[in-house]
Amino acid sequence: MANAYDYDLYVIGAGSGGVRASRISAGFGARVAVAEDRPLGGTCVNVGCVPKKLFVYSSHTAEDIEDAAGYGWTVEGVKFHWPTLIANKNKEIERLNGIYRKLLDNAGVDLHEARATLVDAHTVDVGGRQVTAETILIATGGWPYLPDIPGVEHAITSNEAFFLDDLPKRVAVIGGGYIAVEFAGIFNGMGSKVTQLYRGEQILRGFDADVRHTLAEEIRKKGIDLRCHVNVMRIDKTDTGLTLHLTDDSMLEVDTVMFATGRVPNTKDLNLHDIGVATDEKGAILVDEFSKTSVDNIYAIGDVTDRIALTPVAIMEGMAFARTLYGGMPTAVDHANVPSAVFSQPPVGSVGLTEEEARAEHGDVHIYRSTFTPMKHTMTGRGEKTMMKLIVEPKSDRVLGAHMVGPDAGEIIQGIGIAVKIGATKAQFDATIGIHPTAAEEFVTMRDRVEPLAEAAE
């Protein structure tokens, strides 16, 4: 009986997923409280998507100023002041923290600003106080992972990169995933000398091979020293900086080393094991399609479940949870064809299957690819290329995947994502009139098939 408990729903974590689930559940009439011991909004608002995108805007300004020369502008006395950027960013994030607080307040959700742990399946300890709830939702997100190597205490992660006192002159970024390529681009644009070290064959594992190759080429052109097949074994602090000892027996001296080597689910201190909430070997909470854990009244959403670690996915999971439990509309989460962008420079946008995945699932697939100089750069001399690609299933003519590297890739792929989600065919793409002159029009004007990737065809 719901009334026997202090609340109908207790949410642990006020990030993107937790706040959405709290608000919508309360809107359906549930009595809801949420616990959070850090600034409201979670990773995305405080140390993720939002400040990262602001940094990308700042960083890309350097290139925009250079490119202005081709259009007749002389820009003199250009200077960059890191503390101004940090101060303005902090102000904007505080504004967003305030909006999150208001959203919870307006929805009638009680906010408990303390750390919460589970006492039993219906009881939470929040800052030393015990609170009971019929249902508990865990939305505690993730935390940067650092490999256990000597000297790693001298390294930073993306958490600290947003608050550095000074812009480092020489930076090593370790990793080849989303965060690594984004921060390598950010520091490079701002004028740091950037070395990016990746242990594997090619950055952005899991993305389409053409995207990976194109981006690697473009970021090298911009001056990032991207080295693959190499990792850090040890970090020594010296009088002049940090010396990295690398697996290829070389050494690298930098001022800052940033590890972007993945994130782990935030489940450590929740007491999940004692309560019987099952996790996988990484600590991620195992859930069914309604986000229910192995304990009947405990649910989990967002990065802590390690399904797809993206803010809009956590929000969708939070919505589905609220509709299922309190809206009378059982809604399974749908992780198919989730579009995403990497805010590298140039950015990447992707939706649907990669060529490799499409080939594994559907056998023979048709590939359409276009590589061209974006119109803006015909007069800047930058030499940057844009790559667009469609993957089509021949029998049904369905577009299985769309991928892009180039300016505005995220903005463009968001629209293309709708078409892929509703199962549009290549003929329907072709029947769509392009908007001229844009880069996006290329997605509806690619007529000639190209050879599949050599490695995918093997």
Residues that bind ligand NDP (CB under 6 A): 147, 174-180, 182, 198-200, 205, 231, 260-263, 309-310, 340-343
Peptide bond between residue 407 and the one before it cis (omega within 30 degrees of 0): no
Nearer to ligand NDP, 136 or 304 (CB): 304
SS3 letters across 278-346: CECCCCCECCCCCCECCCCCEEECHHHHCCCCCHHHHHHHHHHHHHHHHCCCCCCCCCCCCCEEECCCC
Output the smallest distance, CB 294 to ligand NDP, in A: 24
Tell me the three state secondary structure of residue 383: coil
Structure tokens at 311: 């803010």
What is each CA distance from 245 to 128, 168, 206, 236, in whole angstroms? 45, 19, 28, 8
To the query of whether residue 436 is one of the catalytic residues in this protein, the response is: yes
Nearer to ligand NDP, 324 or 344 (CB): 344
Nearer to ligand NDP, 19 or 161 (CB): 161
Output the smallest distance, CB 39 to ligand NDP, in A: 18
Residue type, position 399, single letter: V
| Catalytic residue, candidates 60, 112, 245, 436 | 436
Output the smallest distance, CB 430 to ligand NDP, in A: 30
Output the smallest distance, CB 181 to ligand NDP, in A: 8
Residue 235 φ/ψ, nearest 5 degrees = -125, 125
Q: Pairing between strand 142-144 and 263-265? A: antiparallel
Output the smallest distance, CB 309 to ligand NDP, in A: 3
Output the smallest distance, CB 26 to ligand NDP, in A: 28
Structure tokens at 366: 């048709």
Nearer to ligand NDP, 102 or 268 (CB): 268
Nearer to ligand NDP, 272 or 342 (CB): 342
Residue 271 φ/ψ, nearest 5 degrees = 75, 30
The residue number with the shortest CB distance to ligand NDP is 177
Peptide bond between residue 346 and the one before it cis (omega within 30 degrees of 0): yes
User: What is the spatial order of strands in the sheet that 242-246 belongs to?
Assistant: 232-237, 242-246, 251-254
Nearer to ligand NDP, 206 or 330 (CB): 206
Q: Give every CB contact of residue 249 below 8 A, 6+ residues apart in sequence.
A: none
Could you tell me how far CA 332 lies from the centroid of its own chain? 23
Rounded Cα–Cα distance for residues 452 and 443 (Å) = 18
Residue 310: half-sphere exposure toward Cβ, Cα within 13 Å: 11
Nearer to ligand NDP, 171 or 444 (CB): 171
Output the smallest distance, CB 344 to ligand NDP, in A: 9
Output the smallest distance, CB 150 to ligand NDP, in A: 14
Considering only CA atoms, give the Rg of the chain: 24
Q: Give every CB contact of residue 370 below 8 A, 6+ residues apart in sequence.
A: 387, 388, 389, 442, 446
Nearer to ligand NDP, 42 or 327 (CB): 42
Structure tokens at 356: 């490799």
Burial of 29 (0-12, 13-18, 19+ CB in 10 A): exposed
- Would you name the residues annotated as active-site residues? 436
